[in-house]
């Protein structure tokens, strides 16, 4: 019996070794195609989710597709009278959308939109999903609609918004979102601006499907960095792009650029003559990459804006990255833009928090 077990273990080990050996022999082209396939699969799945709909809410109230036009940005428009700050303890509780139309309210000073129905150390808000996905109805609640049901829930476990003058801003939101008791995603946003420490911003959204996308930006003195990443449920990188630029005189110069697709890293940095390509951490000496920018003086040097990569493999064949991840690239551009803007947080969650805090005063 022991002999049979030993043979089985030996066989399993041999198979695992052969598989590992095969994986290591996968060339750059095979690895890139595999990585691109994972990216396209993830973005296709995300694009049909309600979490994607939430992220792509925009200023025209359509709720489909991202726009840089912002509606009511309460963080910058409202002339607050609540010590210019909102903390979670001021808005903690369970609230139902139940507007009091007998009281006067203005779009920038909403009062009596939500009624407190219970206690909680979170800010839990139940509201009609129509008001979230079509925010124009939330901002213009002039006529009662008794047919609306509170089937959308915001559960904010962390929240604060501090402003000290126009050059100092501190913001944090950690929240989960559900539609009809079905989870559609979780967000975590941190945004800090300080006259001395500069600007730092990081935003992430986790989909119940098992994918996560993150955006990070910072600006300190003359150095700016930005990155975005698409990760799977194990936090393994499917796609990540990082750029670091420095200002010299009146121009910005890129110091470092790294694009990761699965187990492939493409790097360009100052002081290195060529663009380096790594497969599983090993430099690929025969591979060649050409970075193509529509405009050399464009600050938006990203595959989400005006950048493309032309890749030449060992067999001499050439392809453009944009062709490999098209049309998923459109979804990626939308997600990265939406995460950087976070319209639903800045214009809807903040608006609701302001309504609750203002009504309490």
Query: What is the Cα–Cα distance from 50 to 263, expressed in whole angstroms?
Result: 30
Written as six digits, the tokens of 5 are: 């077990």
Low-confidence ranges of the chain (pLDDT < 50): 1-24, 61-83
pLDDT at 112: 75
Output the pLDDT for position 90.
Answer: 92
**Confidence (pLDDT) at 17:** 42
160 in Cβ contact with 86 (< 8 Å): yes
pLDDT of residue 258: 97
How many CB atoms within 10 Å of residue 114? 25
pLDDT, residue 106, reads 57
The per-residue pLDDT for range 150-167, each reduced to its tens digit, is: 999 999 999 999 887 667
Calpha distance 54→339 (Å, rounded): 11
Q: What is the pLDDT of residue 169?
A: 85
Query: What pLDDT score does 123 carry?
Result: 97
Identify the pLDDT of residue 187: 96
d(CA 351, CA 348): 5
The end-to-end CA distance of the chain, in Å, is: 78
pLDDT of residue 59: 63
Which pLDDT does position 354 carry in this prediction? 86
Q: What is the model's pLDDT at position 314?
A: 84
Q: What is the pLDDT of residue 296?
A: 62
């Amino acid at each position: 019996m022991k002999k049979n077990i030993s043979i089985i273990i030996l066989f399993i080990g041999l198979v695992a070794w052969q598989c590992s050996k095969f994986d290591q022999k996968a060339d750059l082209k095979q690895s890139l195609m595999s990585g691109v396939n994972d990216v396209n699969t993830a973005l296709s799945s995300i694009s049909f989710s309600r979490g994607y709909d939430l992220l792509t809410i925009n200023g025209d109230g359509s709720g489909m597709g991202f726009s840089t036009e912002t509606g009511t940005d309460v963080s910058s428009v409202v002339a607050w009278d609540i010590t210019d700050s909102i903390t979670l303890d001021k808005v903690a509780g369970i609230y139902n959308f139940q507007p009091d139309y007998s009281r006067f309210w203005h779009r920038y000073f909403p009062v009596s939109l939500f009624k407190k129905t219970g206690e909680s150390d979170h800010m839990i808000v139940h509201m009609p999903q129509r008001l979230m996905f079509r925010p124009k109805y939330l901002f213009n609640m002039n006529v009662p609609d008794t047919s609306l049901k509170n089937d959308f829930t915001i559960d904010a476990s962390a929240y604060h918004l501090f402003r000290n003058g126009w050059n100092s801003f501190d913001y944090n939101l950690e929240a989960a979102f559900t539609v009809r008791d079905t989870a559609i995603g979780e967000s975590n946003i941190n945004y800090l601006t300080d006259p001395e420490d500069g600007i730092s911003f990081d935003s992430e959204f986790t989909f119940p499907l098992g994918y996560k996308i993150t955006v990070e930006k910072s600006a300190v003195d003359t150095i700016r960095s930005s990155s975005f990443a698409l990760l799977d449920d194990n936090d393994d990188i499917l796609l990540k792009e990082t750029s670091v630029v420095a200002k010299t005189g009146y121009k910005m110069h890129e110091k470092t650029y790294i694009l990761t697709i699965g187990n492939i890293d493409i790097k360009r940095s100052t002081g290195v003559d060529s663009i380096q390509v790594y497969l599983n951490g090993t430099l690929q000496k025969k591979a060649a990459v050409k970075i193509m920018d529509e405009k050399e003086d464009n600050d938006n040097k990203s595959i989400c804006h005006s950048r493309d990569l032309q890749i030449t493999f060992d067999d001499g064949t050439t392809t453009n990255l944009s062709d490999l991840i098209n049309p998923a690239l459109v979804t990626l551009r939308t997600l990265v833009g939406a995460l950087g803007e976070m319209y639903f947080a800045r214009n809807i969650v903040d608006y609701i928090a302001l309504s609750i805090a203002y009504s309490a005063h």
